[in-house]
Amino acid sequence: MHRTSTRVLLSCAAIGVVGGVVAGASGYLAGAFAAFGPMLYGLTVGTHFLPSVVALALLKRPGMAVLAGLIAGLVGAAFAPWWLWRYVGAGLLVGLLIEIPFLLTRYRRWDAWLFYAAAGFAGLVIAIAVFIGLGAEHYAWWAWAIALPLWVLSPVLFTWIGRVIAARLAKAGVAQAA
SS in 3 state form for 114-152?
HHHHHHHHHHHHHHHHHHHHHCHHHCCHHHHHHHHHHHH
Residue 9 burial (C-beta neighbours within 10 Å; 0-12, 13-18, 19+)? middle
Write the pLDDT tens digit of every residue in 112-164: 999 999 999 999 999 888 888 877 788 888 888 888 899 999 999 999 999 99
Buried b (16+ CB within 10 A) or exposed e, 72-92: bbbbbbebeeebeeebbebbb
Mean pLDDT of 83-101: 95
Chain Cα centroid distance, residue 130: 16
With pLDDT > 90 as the criterion, what percentage of the chain qualifies? 68
Write the pLDDT tens digit of every residue in 44-78: 999 999 999 999 999 999 999 999 999 999 999 99
Amino acid at 151: W
- Please state the pTM of the whole predicted model: 0.92
Specify the pLDDT at position 1: 44
Q: How confident is the model at residue 178 (pLDDT cuts 50, 70, 90)?
A: low
